[in-house]
Amino acid sequence: MTDYVMPLDAIVGQDELKLALALTAISPRIGGVLIQGERGNAKSTTVRSFAQILPPIALRKDCPYHCDPIHPFSFCPVCEQGTSETIMGQAPFIELPLGATEDRVLGHLDLEEVLRRSHTRFVPGLLAKAHRGILYIDEVNLLDDQLIDLLLDAASSGMAHIERDGFSLAYPTQFVLVGTMNPEEGEIRPQLLDRFGLSVEITTPQSIDERVLITERRLAFDQQPELFIEQWESSIQNWRERLVNARQLLPEIAMPTAILRYIAERAVQAHVEGLRADIVMAEAARAYAALNGKTWVDTGDVDVVAPLVLGHRTRPLSPPPPRGHNNSSSQDRSRDEAAPSPASSMPQSPKSSGVSAHHENIDSPGDGDDAERMIPMHLPNHLMASGDFGPWRHNAGTKKETGKRLLISRRLGQPSLSYLRGKNRKRRAHDNNAVLIDWPGTITAKIKRQHGTSPSHAWGRNDLIFRKSKHPRPVAVVFVVDTSASMGSIKRLGRVKGTIMKIAQKAYRKRAYFSLLTFGHRSARVVLAPTNKLGRLRAVLERMPARGNTPLWEGLQETALQLKKWRREVPWVFELYLMTDGKVPGITTHWDEHVVRARECKQALDQSPVHLQVIDADTSRIAMHWAKKIAQVLHAEYGTLEEGA
What is the set of active-site residues? 276
**Do residues 133 and 89 lie in contact, with contact meaning Cβ atoms separated by under 8 Å?**
no
Mention every residue, 6+ apart, whose C-beta is less than 8 A from residue 312: 34, 36, 193, 194, 196, 199
Long-range contacts of 497-500 (CB under 8 A, 24+ apart): 497/541, 497/542, 497/544, 498/645, 499/579, 499/615, 499/641, 499/644, 499/645, 500/537, 500/541, 500/577, 500/579
Rounded to whole angstroms, how far apart are CA atoms 565 and 488? Answer: 31
**Do residues 523 and 551 lie in contact, with contact meaning Cβ atoms separated by under 8 Å?**
yes
Task: Name the β-bridge partners of 34.
Answer: 179, 199
DSSP 502-534: HHHHHHHHTT-EEEEEEEETTEEEEEEEEE--H
Please report, for residues 55, 124, 131, 171, 413, the alpha-carbon distance to residue 161 in angstroms, rounded to integers and kept in the order given: 27, 12, 14, 7, 11
Rounded to whole angstroms, how far apart are CA atoms 33 and 47? Answer: 10
DSSP 244-275: HHHHHHGGG----HHHHHHHHHHHHHTT-SSS
Helix axes 328-337, 492-509, angle to 10 degrees: 60
The dihedral region occupied by 265, where left means phi > 0, alpha psi between -120 and 50, and beta the remainder, is alpha
**Do residues 68 and 58 lie in contact, with contact meaning Cβ atoms separated by under 8 Å?**
yes
Please report, for residues 91, 177, 285, 607, the alpha-carbon distance to residue 134 in angstroms, rounded to integers and kept in the order given: 8, 6, 21, 47
Burial 23-56 (b: 16+ CB within 10 A, else e): bbbbbbbbbbbbbbbeeebbbeebbbbbbbbbbe
Tell me, what amino acid is at 1? M
Among 148, 132, 176, which residue's Cα sits nearest to residue 32?
176
Task: Name the β-bridge partners of 408.
Answer: 375, 417
276 phi and psi, to 5 degrees?
-60, -35
- Any idea how long the chain is? 645
Among 478, 529, 539, 535, which residue's Cα sits nearest to residue 503?
478
Please report, for residues 135, 137, 184, 372, 636, the alpha-carbon distance to residue 41 in angstroms, rounded to integers and kept in the order given: 20, 16, 14, 48, 47
Among 152, 145, 198, 193, which residue's Cα sits nearest to residue 175?
152
**Do residues 294 and 252 lie in contact, with contact meaning Cβ atoms separated by under 8 Å?**
no
Angle at 561 between CA 556 and CA 562, to 5 degrees: 95
Rounded to whole angstroms, how far apart are CA atoms 1 and 500? Answer: 50
Rounded to whole angstroms, how far apart are CA atoms 227 and 55? Answer: 22
Count of other CB atoms within 10 angstroms of residue 399: 6
Q: Is the dihedral of CA 524, 528, 534, 540 positive or negative?
A: negative
Task: Name the β-bridge partners of 612.
Answer: 576
**Do residues 357 and 429 lie in contact, with contact meaning Cβ atoms separated by under 8 Å?**
yes
Rounded to whole angstroms, how far apart are CA atoms 283 and 302? Answer: 10
Q: List the alpha helices (DSSP H) in 464-583.
A: 492-509, 534-542, 552-569
